[in-house]
Amino acid sequence: MPDTVRAAPFPIHTLREMALNLWSPRDQKRESLWRKLSPPQLFVGSFALLTLLGTLGLKALPGLYTGAPLSWLDALFTATSAVCVTGLIVVDTATYFTPAGQAFLLLLIQLGGLGIITFSTLIIVAFGRRLSLRHEVLVSGMADVAPHVDRRRLVFNVFVFTFSIEAVGAVLLYVLWIPRMGVAGAAWPALFHSISAFCNAGFSTFTHSLVSFQQSPLVLSVIMALIVVGGLGFLTLEELYLWRRARQKETRFSLSLHSRIVLVATGVLLVTGWVLFTLFEWDVTFRHMPVWAKLVNGLFASVTPRTAGFNSIDYGLATDSTNFLTTIFMFIGGSPGSTAGGVKTTTVALILLMAWARMRGEATPSFWGRSIPQETSQRAIGLFVVAAVVMTLCIFVFTTSEIESNLQAQLPRSFLQHTFEVFSAFNTVGLSMGVTDTLSPVGRWTIIFLMFLGRVGPLTFAAALASRRKLVGGFRFAYEDVIVG
């Protein structure tokens, strides 16, 4: 794997300088305005722009549908779900879209999974340009986490990891699906599901997702591997690659605390969920399966809520224990710097470490022989609280806005169904208990807001809206303590 990307030859540099000299004053003014945008504003704006382009594409491009095109609201809903790699749908992807329409959704998923900023940064690196501070903050955010990892190489390796893993997954699924779909018929579903799984999107070209593959352990295993790897985060993947290369050269390489927490938290969640989901569904949705299939589907139920959105069972028929545990797993999500959503494994791990430190009378949480900065712990608490408040408010909106919609659709009022839907949207999962296509316009706007906010992150979204001006002199009010607990 290459360590660097060489600078562009002289002619390209000359053309670039000529293009800059030909800019009009209006273009230079726009460039000045662009430079005034903060990194959070650029990040949020990139996803807003991609969602807008996706919506316009779904409305304007011909040949995307087998029947009537989507309405503006449903087009926005579908584009947001694809760009934010969520997977919630108001129409059946398998039957409503033509292969061209599915390909357009897959393009939005790939762009949304990696992000426009990542693509633009790769172009900058490929042209031999130096990354600005804003691009380094946008792409990696790892200066204090893993200073030993080269940022330019990481940007390039993001694409190497992504396309290599997706290619391997597509080939494996293609081979596994040839007996069922034929040599030609297996190609497109294999590619689509490999990209959708790695990007943790949850979109499927099968009407019932992966329910028909309940007793296909190899298919479920490939999908699970893609989901887990895609949810680890590119920084952790880069460190694992460097660690493996160091072992081959018999040199020493130490993983960062970030990657250690990611790997431990991921392992604990997978094993815990595997045991609990298997027990909860053993005699319910798993009752007609052989023992080995129950174990495989129990593991799949532990993997997919974080935050892939594929399902091998009907969650509308699952136990309340399974659905409630699924909402918890959806809330946790994947790891930072990945294609997954949720509040992230590191956030929950830091809060638990902080609680454990307080119970032991220690002021600072620690893990693996390292103390964690107080500012990082406070950021984790802030993210957790903001996410909980946002979802609570949206659940309240659902309990009022969906009453008439449920009555018209002759559906029973279910608090758990609406809670499940809100958690799935905000944490960009895509699982549903079957109420997405019955949502009222207010409910669909709420889901659109949740999917977008969950993808960019509530704290990043708030930072994008905040003014860049700071108080002169660092003014603050006087301290005064309060009683807690």
Q: What is the pLDDT of residues 54-76, one digit of tens each?
A: 999 999 999 999 989 999 999 99
Q: Is the pLDDT reported for residue 5 higher than 80?
A: no
> pLDDT band at residue 178, thresholds of 50, 70 and 90?
very high
What is the arithmetic mean of pLDDT over 229-249? 87
> pLDDT band at residue 35, thresholds of 50, 70 and 90?
low
Which range is most confident: 267-271, 314-318, 455-459? 267-271
More confident residue, 412 or 389: 389
Summarised one tens digit per residue, pLDDT across range 120-155 is 555 545 545 554 444 444 454 554 565 566 666 777
pLDDT reported for residue 34? 54
CA 444 – CA 435 distance, rounded (Å): 11
- For the chain, the average pLDDT equals 83
Residue 213 burial (CB < 10 Å; 0-12/13-18/19+)? buried
How far CA 199 is from CA of 45, 87, 132, 148, 334, in Å, comes to 20, 11, 27, 26, 11
pLDDT reported for residue 52? 96
Domain residue ranges of the chain, discontinuous segments joined by +: 8-33, 38-465
CA 214 – CA 289 distance, rounded (Å): 8
Q: What is the pTM of this model?
A: 0.85
> Is-cis flag, bond preceding 278, omega within 30?
no
pLDDT reported for residue 238? 85
What is the arithmetic mean of pLDDT over 154-168? 86
pLDDT reported for residue 134? 46
Q: Which of 31-35, 165-169, 465-469 has the lowest mean pLDDT?
A: 31-35
Residue type present at position 164: S
Structure tokens at 134: 């804003």
CA 174 – CA 190 distance, rounded (Å): 5
Which range is most confident: 141-155, 353-367, 399-413? 353-367
What is the arithmetic mean of pLDDT over 180-195? 95
pLDDT reported for residue 451? 95
Structure tokens at 368: 């693996």
Contact 186, 178 (CB under 8 A): yes
Structure tokens at 112: 């949304």
Place of tokens 């809100």: 422
Question: What does DSSP assign to residue 51?
Answer: H
pLDDT reported for residue 381? 92
Other beta carbons within 10 Å of 483:
4
CA 86 – CA 425 distance, rounded (Å): 7
Structure tokens at 97: 């879209």
Question: 61 in helix, strand or coil?
Answer: coil
What is the arithmetic mean of pLDDT over 341-356? 92
Structure tokens at 349: 């791990």
The radius of gyration computed from the CA coordinates of the chain, to the nearest angstrom, equals 23
Q: Is the pLDDT reported for residue 113 higher than 90?
A: no
Q: Is the pLDDT reported for residue 475 higher than 80?
A: no
